[in-house]
């Protein structure tokens, strides 16, 4: 009788509470614990639960044996469909009575989600609601994100994700959405990686929480950034969610408020640097290679730029590696430049001026230099560097400047042999750039004021202005060097313009409107990641980044380009990602870093076929 009852319970999948009615010799013969052996315990999900409070301190073994159905099915975000379970599924899967009687389609559920999101007062509340949906119903989460990407993309990126991370300790739920490693785990990282339930990991987004947008050091709370980033891998790039792993390295924090916060979920010690940090990173990356292979894409997020650069320099030959700061932004900038380039003109015929105090500015210069060299095979290193001019707080970067001996290493290759210029205005008047790019981090950005813009327009018929610095007061983004309205007014409406903030229409001084779209790395990284995975590339090379930039530029519709837009519509991000993936994979095969053989004949079709479909599936 007891065994028959147990069999029926297991067949039903009623693992949420299974009463083991086993006692005496028949139960012992069947291998079941007797009531006497358990001291009068009842069993909950296979774990003995005693009524005596004194027994709560006794150690027990968590043990669950279940068929996925009933309450357990509804609690599993991968399979839960909420009110979309059909009446037949509710009967077969023992859900009858656990849900209201209505059956809603996925489309109706999505509209319900969007209504809830639109009712929230700010981006952080919207992001919080959306991420809670991911923990309840994964397919509905990605369905909403994919079909409403224009509306939802801003709340999945900075500065909203930074503000969300700020309160992460308060909102933390004990659900395995990511992996957490600390300095105390040194020597055990490989065995800890085996605790993650998925074996076929293809992309890891890694942070140490040192540089989270405008908020700086948030320690372990920065894990919200990799989780959101990898959600965009799936929504925009179609990468299977189970292939993505967010990881945070908790090396401490220098945020005094977090160190004093009793509910902070990270280690309450100052940020550790030096050998201990690098040894843990080395052990982690070695463990990743041993566990998941050498074609896993490592994406660095919310980390100090210098730290990212050192890791990429040291391990780029070991994995395909990506960073928004080092690779994503330069690639997006190159896409805007390709889209703005008039037919028949070459990069070698342009004059580029890069203005600011950020080392990320030289990352743009380096990719630009690579693009000039590779254009029709005509450019050389010297020719490329001759048309790239840097301007910092002390003026034009030249060899004869008073502080030339103390120039930072990343500026030295672009120091020109020409007379010094102490101001941006003087540099613009002398060099007559066709492309003006601004990017600063902590230092106040150089203003592209009226005089600078007028001088720029005087030296070029149709200049390109890319002010890429931004500030985030109270969670709002603003372009720093110049506003689009001022830039267009001061160049008589002749300039092409794109920043990291503005999307929409801007009135031209002589009448009419200019269509603007912001320079965004989301055009780049989902497709790049998909292309790396399709080809199983062991590297991310500069020529692959340039192919990604060209693919993005080609997706700008001609009518949009004529109206002034330099980036494609965000509503088409999935299609853009497929074209980027095909271009990246094609280059990976051509240069011999692809290991997925044989090579597919139709890479674009392959990219579309690889993409995860978040539509609900029918259950038996």
Predicted local distance difference test score (pLDDT) of residue 61: 57
Which positions of the chain have pLDDT values less than 70?
Answer: 1-58, 60-67, 442-444, 471-479
Quote the pLDDT of residue 24: 40
Supply the CATH classification number for the domain 522-610. 3.40.50.10380
Residue 451: predicted pLDDT: 97
Domain extents in the chain: 69-155, 157-323, 328-519, 522-610
Q: Report yes or no: 157 and 97 within 8 Å, Cβ to Cβ.
A: no
Q: How far is CA 327 from the centre of its chain?
A: 13
Instruction: Give counts: helices (H), strands (E), the chain.
Output: 26, 17
| pLDDT at residue 611 in the model | 97
Cα 238 to Cα 258: distance, rounded to the nearest angstrom: 36
Per-residue pLDDT tens digits for 275-319: 999 999 999 999 999 999 999 999 999 999 999 999 999 999 999
* Domains 69-155 and 157-323 in one fold: no
Q: What is the pLDDT of residue 480?
A: 77
Q: Please state the pTM of the whole predicted model.
A: 0.88
Topology of domain 157-323, CATH: Rossmann fold (3.40.50)
CATH number 1.20.1370.30 is the correct assignment for the domain at 69-155 = yes
- SS3 of 478, please? strand
Non-local (6+) Cβ contacts of 144 within 8 A are 110, 113, 114, 130, 133, 152
Q: What separation, in Å, do the N-terminal and C-terminal C-alpha atoms of the chain show?
A: 29
For domain 328-519, say whether CATH 3.40.50.720 is its number. Answer: yes
Strands (E), 31-146: 42-44, 47-49
Helix axes 106-118, 123-136, angle to 10 degrees: 150
Beta-ladder partners of 250: 182
Tracing tokens 């200019």 back to the chain, one arrives at 514
Angle at 21 between CA 17 and CA 24, to 5 degrees: 150
Q: The tokens of 237 are what?
A: 């790039």
Whole-number pLDDT of residue 21: 37
Given a contact cutoff of 8 angstroms between Cβ atoms, the answer to whether 19 and 46 are in contact is no
């Amino acid at each position: 009788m007891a065994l028959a009852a147990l069999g029926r319970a297991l067949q039903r999948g009623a693992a949420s509470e299974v009463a083991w009615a086993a006692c005496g010799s028949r139960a012992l013969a069947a291998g079941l614990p007797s009531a006497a052996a358990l001291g009068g315990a009842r069993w909950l999900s296979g774990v003995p639960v005693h009524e005596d409070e004194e027994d709560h301190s006794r150690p027990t073994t968590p043990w669950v044996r279940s068929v996925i159905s009933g309450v357990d099915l509804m609690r599993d975000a991968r399979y839960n469909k909420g009110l979309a379970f059909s009446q037949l599924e509710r009967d077969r899967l023992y859900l009858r009575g656990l849900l209201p009687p209505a059956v809603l389609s996925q489309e109706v559920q999505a509209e319900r989600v969007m209504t809830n999101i639109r009712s929230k007062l700010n981006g952080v509340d919207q992001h919080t609601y959306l991420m809670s949906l991911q923990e309840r119903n994964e397919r509905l989460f990605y369905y909403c994100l994919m079909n409403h990407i224009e509306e939802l993309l801003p709340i999945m990126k900075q500065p909203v994700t930074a503000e969300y991370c700020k309160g992460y300790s308060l909102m933390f739920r004990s659900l395995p959405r990511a992996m957490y490693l600390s300095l105390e785990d040194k020597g055990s990282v490989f065995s800890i990686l085996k605790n993650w339930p998925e074996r076929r990991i293809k992309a890891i987004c890694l942070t140490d929480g040192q540089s989270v947008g405008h908020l700086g050091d948030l320690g372990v709370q920065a894990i919200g950034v990799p989780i959101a980033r990898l959600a965009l891998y799936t929504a925009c790039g179609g990468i299977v969610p189970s292939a993505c792993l967010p990881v945070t390295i908790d090396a401490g924090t220098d945020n005094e408020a977090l160190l004093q916060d009793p509910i902070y979920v990270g280690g309450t010690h100052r940020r550790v640097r030096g050998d201990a940090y690098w040894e843990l990173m080395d052990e982690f990356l070695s463990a990743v290679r041993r566990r998941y292979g050498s074609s896993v894409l490592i994406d660095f997020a919310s980390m100090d730029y210098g730290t990212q650069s050192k890791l990429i320099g040291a391990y780029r030959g070991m994995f395909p590696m990506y960073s928004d700061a080092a690779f994503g932004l330069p690639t997006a900038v190159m896409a805007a430049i390709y889209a703005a380039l008039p037919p028949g003109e070459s990069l070698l015929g342009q004059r580029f001026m890069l203005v600011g105090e950020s080392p990320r500015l030289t990352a743009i210069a380096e990719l630009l230099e690579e693009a000039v060299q590779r254009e029709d095979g005509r450019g050389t290193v010297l020719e490329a560097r001759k048309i790239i001019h840097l301007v910092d707080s002390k003026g034009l970067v030249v060899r004869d400047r008073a502080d030339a001996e103390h120039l930072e290493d990343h500026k030295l290759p672009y120091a020109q042999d020409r007379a010094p210029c102490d101001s941006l205005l003087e540099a613009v008047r002398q060099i007559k750039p066709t492309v003006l790019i601004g990017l600063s981090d902590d230092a106040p950005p150089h203003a592209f004021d009226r005089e600078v813009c007028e001088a720029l327009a005087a030296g070029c018929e149709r200049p390109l202005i890319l002010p890429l610095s931004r500030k985030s007061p109270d969670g709002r983004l603003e372009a720093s060097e110049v506003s689009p309205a001022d830039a267009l007014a001061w160049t008589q409406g002749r300039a092409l313009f794109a920043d990291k903030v503005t999307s929409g229409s801007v009135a031209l001084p002589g009448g009419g409107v200019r269509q603007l779209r912001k320079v965004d790395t989301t055009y780049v990284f989902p497709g790049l990641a998909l292309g790396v995975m399709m080809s199983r590339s062991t590297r991310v090379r500069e020529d692959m980044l340039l192919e990604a930039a060209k693919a993005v530029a080609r997706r700008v519709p001609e009518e949009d380009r004529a109206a002034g837009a330099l980036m494609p519509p965000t509503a088409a991000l999935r299609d853009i990602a497929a074209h980027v993936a095909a271009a990246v994979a094609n280059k990976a095969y051509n240069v011999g870093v692809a290991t997925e053989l044989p090579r597919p004949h139709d890479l674009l079709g392959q990219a579309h076929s690889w993409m995860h479909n978040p539509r609900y599936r029918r259950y038996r």
